[in-house]
Amino acid sequence: MKPWVRLLPCAVLLFILPFPGTVTLRLLALACALLVSAWSWHKDGFPQIPAWPALLFWAGLALLSLATAVDPGYTLGEIKNEIGYTMAAYLAFITLTRTRADAVFLLGALILGSLALASIALWDNLSSDLPRWNEDGLAGGSGSYSTYLLALLPALLWAGGALRLRHRWGLVAGLIALQLLVAVIAGQRQFWLVFALQVLVGLPLLSKRGFVELSTARMRAIGVLAVVLSALVIVGATARRDTISLGDDPRLSMWPGVAARIVEHPLTGKGFGREAMKKAYPELRSKKFPEVWHAHNLFLNYGLSMGVPGMLAALYLFFTLLRIFWKLSRAEDPVIAMAGISGVLLVLAVVVRNLSNDFFVRDLALLFWAIAGMLLGYASHAEKSPQIGKAPGA
């Protein structure tokens, strides 16, 4: 089987993931990717799955939550969507991302998808008479788009290490600049906090591995500049949007009640899924903001759905992935090291972004696991076969 044929289902999945209304095509691409993976397992054996103990703990607790679920049918559906499908994507990308050429092919599909979506977003919003992001536009809501970007940016960074183009870093810088422009239009303040964190964490890692040559003073200056620019964009977004005051934020008034419900039943929850709060504790919903129907915090949502063990499972899972990527960032091979740095930034972005909301579902969860699987798949194959990872310095 030719490499591009083997990778085509994964490439299609990466391209279409950010587009709203593509569920059927996503599932079809995912099913094809699994079939190709099964052929690979038959030929080459089943791959080693990074973080498998944490994944089993997470999935096991989700299944156990069926016993106390307020709506078992809903919980089973959420387990299928948020664990079954995402783990299928994770496994497929680990299996099929073997060489640097594979990574470049998949990154190309991801980049093309991001360019198409950015073009739609710019056209949709710049041609609109609305003073803010068009939440009903073809590019999707501002919250989901900005969360997509936070997962995309580390992948673009890895492209700088994986591509063999002479001016690849200029290309990567241009792609990132384009997406930051769209992020300004989206006006999501949390995006800029997380982006500033990515810069503050990423620069020292890139400098330590020799990808950038910056003195400590220059790194500090760039870090300060990133924080200042992010703060200015946040101020501008606040002035442009009809934002509520901190004292009226429904999340702040809701979180103590959510924590109290978790403490009441610390070992069990109301069933895996974001709707656990709405189904089991409708009184927690704000009367003024009824659209706030879940806890708007990934860990609190896990606490409501699976108890304190569910919160620990999420922490264990993200910590395990972060540790794996951190070790990879210290690899001798530059492409593997860049994959590790990108993975660290990916995990940090997803965790911090979802402290004030919970977008770790559906297409955005699939994107996270697909990129994580791509990074880890390449790294594991390259470490087993050094000639795969052997590449000129980035």
CA distance 356 to 347: 16
**Of 177, 179, 145, 175, residue with least CA distance to 160:** 175
Chain centroid offset of residue 44 CA = 29
CA distances from 45 to 30, 375, 387, 389 (A): 20, 20, 20, 20
User: Mean pLDDT of all residues in the chain?
Assistant: 90
| pLDDT for the residue 14 | 97
Least confident of 59-68, 129-138, 249-258, 372-381: 129-138
> Could you tell me if residue 46 is inside a domain?
no
Residue 391 has pLDDT above 60, yes or no: no
CA distance 165 to 176: 17
Phi, psi angle pair for 179, to nearest 5°: -70, -30
CA distances from 253 to 193, 286, 287, 389 (A): 22, 8, 12, 51
CA distance 306 to 118: 37
Tell me if 394 sits within 8 A of 158, measured CB to CB: no
- Rounded to a whole number of angstroms, the distance between the first and last alpha carbons of the chain is 30
Tell me if 44 sits within 8 A of 57, measured CB to CB: no
Q: What is the SS3 assignment for 348?
A: helix
> Could you tell me if residue 25 is inside a domain?
no
> Could you tell me if residue 383 is inside a domain?
yes
> Could you tell me if residue 124 is inside a domain?
yes
**What DSSP character marks residue 18?**
T
Count how many residues are written for the chain: 394
What is the span of the domain harbouring residue 143?
3-17+55-389
**Of 61, 95, 55, 99, residue with least CA distance to 321:** 55
Site of tokens 């016993």: 67
| pLDDT for the residue 281 | 93
Count structural domains, the chain.
1
Q: What is the pLDDT of residues 166-216, one digit of tens each?
A: 788 899 999 999 999 999 999 898 899 999 999 999 999 999 888 888 778
Tell me if 175 sits within 8 A of 156, measured CB to CB: yes
Chain centroid offset of residue 55 CA = 16
Q: What is the pLDDT of residues 358-375, one digit of tens each?
A: 999 999 999 999 999 999
> Could you tell me if residue 36 is inside a domain?
no
> To the nearest whole percent, how much of the chain has pLDDT over 90?
70
| pLDDT for the residue 388 | 47
Per-residue pLDDT band for 387 (boundaries 50, 70, 90) equals: low
CA distance 111 to 97: 16
Please, is 4 exposed, middle or buried when counting C-beta atoms within 10 Å of its C-beta (0-12, 13-18, 19+)?
exposed
> Could you tell me if residue 33 is inside a domain?
no
Mean pLDDT of 3-19: 94
> Could you tell me if residue 200 is inside a domain?
yes
> To the nearest whole percent, how much of the chain has pLDDT over 70?
94
Q: What is the pLDDT of residues 29-55, one digit of tens each?
A: 999 999 999 999 999 899 999 999 999
**Of 360, 365, 376, residue with least CA distance to 325:** 376
Site of tokens 């949390």: 190
Q: What is the pLDDT of residues 239-263, one digit of tens each?
A: 666 566 555 678 888 999 999 999 9
CA distance 302 to 334: 37
> Could you tell me if residue 384 is inside a domain?
yes
CA distances from 310 to 264, 273, 299, 300, 345 (A): 15, 11, 8, 9, 24
